[in-house]
């Protein structure tokens, strides 16, 4: 700090321009606050630039590529020429998408009076931050601050990401060519999403997961279809296995994998992707100088208004304990902004939906059957398979089912889960139903459009009541 420096004064500083940070900035602008949003890289954060959006662009491209194989049975004959995937062209397409979204956010920030500063922000005290930009250093004095610095992939100490042979989720989405073989450390949702996409593009994929099944965070019955499909795609899945050592030998990655069943074996692949979790970016932002306390795992504890232990400093998104999901960050960002703006607001809903872009997709909200039972509910369950849905058959997407979990006493919905085509979009109905404290009858009695996959929810709800139309009620 320079003696006599002049700090720029603002009502609110936001550290981080991801989906939580920029939403908070825009909401604060709407509420008439002066806002400085500091982002070291690009607006939109991991979600837009290196996560949700680019990965969905890859998954979509891979789906289209694979779908060509199924066209034959619908009578569509392709020319004899072999279909190929040019990942370089895909990269350009992806860059177009992210840049359009970047510009959109920048425009919204501008229109809402948000000052966007590019640089690395650190707390200097509990009412000042410093921002380093291209060798310059500016200080800002704030009334309130929101920490929205997000998270990054966790990489264990025995392995080093080089971006060429050993990749994290970010560098895997920057490949210019489809790798011939790819081993993925971690069978969580990122590993499965990217693994299935590359497998569809022709990569030989091996998944190495420590738990006894892939997607261990998700209820087991929802994962079966995905496991089956992964095997159909030729993916080699090694569960209850751990990687002991990784090395690059002659342009190939050698992973030493140990398991009780098989002892130690070496998995050789062109590239390796490490996706075993994420850690919050809370170490290098001077939280101690602001007096904000951090857990051992680096998370910042917050109350339902997103306040940290320092009442005028808020934290949102992946820096706080809970699932690292963009929509959770956005909700928290809006709540923090409203609390600062004097609007009574709180993150008080347990209904955080999850969406996994595996094949088929998995999505859900609320309690799983096991969780509901553990919480002492009497549970009724209704299931409806996609194979009994006309639209699913007509679009050749018959895998999966809709499942509703209901309190047997009150018939209030406790959870709605789905595995199947477009589950990511269909779960919206579940979120709304649970938030509105709907009974299973509310879903069953609502007219659902035909022919659509949404009928699956209606039939699953009717199944709970014992009168589904398109399946035999036991």
Partner 1 sequence: MLEFKLPDVGEGMHEGEIIQWLIKEGDAVKQDQPIVEVQTDKVNAELTAPAAGVVRKIFFSEGDIVEVGTTIFTIQEENDMPATDTGIIEEEIQVVRSDDVKVNAEHITTKPHHEAVRALATPFVRQMAREMKVDIEKVKGSGPAGRITESDLKQFKENNSITRENANQHDDKIVQEMAPMKDAIQAKGVENEWEERIPLKGIRKKIAEHMVKSVSTIPHVTHVDELEMDRLKEFKNQLKEYSDDKDIKLTFLPFFVKAIVIALKEFKTLNASIDEKTKEIILKNYYHIGIATNTKEGLIVPVIKHADQKTIFELADEIRQLAAQAREGKLSIDQITGSTFTISNVGPIGGMHATPIINYPEAAILALHKMEHRMVVRDLEGVIRLMMNMSLSFDHRLIDGVTAVHFTNRIKELLENPIRLVVEMR
The binding site comprises 56, 149-151, 186-193, 209, 277, 318
Rounded to a whole number of angstroms, the minimum distance from the CB of residue 413 to partner 1 is 10
Mark residue 162 as left, alpha or beta (left: phi above 0; alpha: psi -120 to 50; beta: remaining).
Answer: alpha
- Cβ(424)–Cβ(357) below 8 Å: yes
Q: What is the dihedral of CA 97, 101, 104, 106, to 10 degrees?
A: -120
Member of 90, 142, 189, 384 binding partner 1 (CB under 8 A): 384
Closer to partner 1 at the Cβ: 153 or 366? 366
Member of 1, 373, 428, 445 binding partner 1 (CB under 8 A): 373
470 noted as active-site residue: no
Rounded to a whole number of angstroms, the minimum distance from the CB of residue 356 to partner 1 is 19
Taken in order 216, 220, 224, 225, the sign of the CA dihedral is negative
Member of 4, 251, 376, 449 binding partner 1 (CB under 8 A): 376
Which tokens go with 256?
């030493």
Crossing angle for the helix pair 189-200 and 52-70, to the nearest 10 degrees: 40
User: Which span sits near partner 1 by CB under 8 A: 105-113, 121-129, 379-387, 419-427?
Assistant: 379-387
Taken in order 23, 29, 33, 37, the sign of the CA dihedral is positive
Q: CB-side exposure of 61: number of CA atoms within 13 Å?
A: 24
User: Which span sits near partner 1 by CB under 8 A: 127-135, 151-159, 368-376, 421-429?
Assistant: 368-376
Which tokens go with 46?
């991991």
Annotated binding residues for FAD, written as ranges, equal 56, 149-151, 318
Closer to partner 1 at the Cβ: 192 or 404? 404
Could you give the angle at the alpha carbon of 203 between the alpha carbons of 230 and 221, nearest 5°? 10
Distance, in Å, from the CA atom of 433 to the CA atom of 272, rounded to the nearest integer, reads 41
Region 32-61 residues binding partner 1, contact defined as CB under 8 A: none
Closer to partner 1 at the Cβ: 11 or 441? 441
Map residues 65-104 to x or -, x wherever contact with partner 1 holds by CB under 8 A.
----------------------------------------
- DSSP-assigned beta bridge partners for residue 360: none
Crossing angle for the helix pair 87-111 and 19-30, to the nearest 10 degrees: 20
- Point out the catalytic residue in the list 254, 256, 417, 450: 450
Map residues 198-237 to x or -, x wherever contact with partner 1 holds by CB under 8 A.
-----------------------x--x-------------
Member of 232, 466, 467, 469 binding partner 1 (CB under 8 A): 466
Q: Does 439 bind partner 1 (CB under 8 A)?
A: yes
Integer distance in angstroms from the first to the last C-alpha of the chain?
74
In a 3-state reduction of DSSP, which class is residue 306?
Answer: coil
Rounded to a whole number of angstroms, the minimum distance from the CB of residue 379 to partner 1 is 5
**How many other CB atoms are there within 10 angstroms of residue 403's CB atom?**
25
Residues that bind partner 1 (CB under 8 A): 221, 224, 344-346, 348-350, 373, 375-385, 387-388, 401, 407-412, 435-437, 439, 463-464, 466, 468, 471-474
């Amino acid at each position: 700090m320079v003696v006599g420096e002049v700090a720029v004064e603002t009502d609110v500083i936001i550290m981080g321009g991801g989906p939580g940070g920029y939403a908070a900035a825009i909401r604060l602008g709407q509420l008439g606050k002066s806002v400085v949003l500091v982002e070291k890289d690009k607006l939109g954060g991991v979600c837009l630039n290196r996560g949700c959006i680019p990965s969905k662009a890859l998954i979509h491209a891979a789906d289209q590529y694979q779908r060509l194989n199924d066209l034959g049975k619908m009578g569509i004959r392709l020319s004899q020429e072999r279909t190929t995937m040019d990942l370089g062209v895909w990269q350009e397409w992806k860059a177009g998408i992210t840049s359009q979204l970047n510009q959109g956010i920048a425009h919204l920030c501008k229109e809402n009076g948000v000052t966007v500063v590019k640089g690395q922000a650190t707390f200097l005290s509990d009412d000042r931050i410093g921002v380093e930009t291209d060798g310059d250093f500016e200080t800002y004095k704030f009334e309130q601050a929101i920490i929205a610095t997000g998270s990054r992939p966790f990489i264990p100490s025995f392995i080093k990401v080089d971006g060429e042979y050993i990749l994290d989720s970010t560098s895997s989405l920057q490949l210019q060519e489809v790798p011939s073989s790819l081993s993925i450390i971690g069978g969580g949702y990122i590993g499965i999403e990217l693994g299935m996409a590359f497998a569809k593009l022709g990569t030989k994929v091996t998944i190495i997961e420590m738990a006894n099944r892939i997607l261990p965070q998700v209820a087991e019955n929802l994962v079966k279809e995905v496991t089956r499909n992964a095997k159909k795609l030729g993916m080699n899945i090694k569960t209850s296995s751990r990687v002991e050592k990784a090395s690059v030998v002659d342009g190939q990655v050698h992973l030493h994998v140990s398991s009780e069943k098989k002892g130690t074996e070496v998995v050789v692949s062109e590239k390796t992707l490490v996706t075993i979790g994420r850690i919050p970016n809370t170490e290098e932002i001077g939280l101690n100088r602001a007096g904000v306390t951090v857990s051992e795992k680096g998370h910042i504890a917050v109350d339902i208004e997103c306040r940290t232990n320092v009442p005028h400093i808020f934290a949102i998104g992946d820096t706080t304990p809970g699932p690292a999901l963009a929509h959770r960050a956005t909700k928290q960002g809006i709540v923090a902004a409203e609390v600062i703006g004097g609007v009574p607001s709180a993150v008080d809903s347990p209904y955080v939906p999850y969406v996994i872009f595996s094949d088929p997709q998995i999505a859900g909200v609320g309690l799983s059957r096991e969780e509901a039972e553990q919480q002492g509910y009497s549970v009724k369950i209704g299931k409806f398979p996609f194979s009994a849905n006309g639209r699913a058959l007509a679009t050749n997407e018959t895998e999966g089912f809709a499942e509703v979990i209901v309190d047997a006493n009150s018939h209030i919905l406790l959870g709605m889960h789905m595995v199947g085509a477009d589950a990511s979009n269909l779960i919206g109905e579940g979120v709304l139903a649970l938030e509105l404290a709907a009974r299973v009858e509310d879903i069953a009695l609502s007219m659902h459009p035909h022919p659509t996959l949404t009928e699956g929810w209606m039939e699953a709800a009717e199944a709970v009541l014992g009168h589904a139309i398109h399946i035999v009620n036991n």
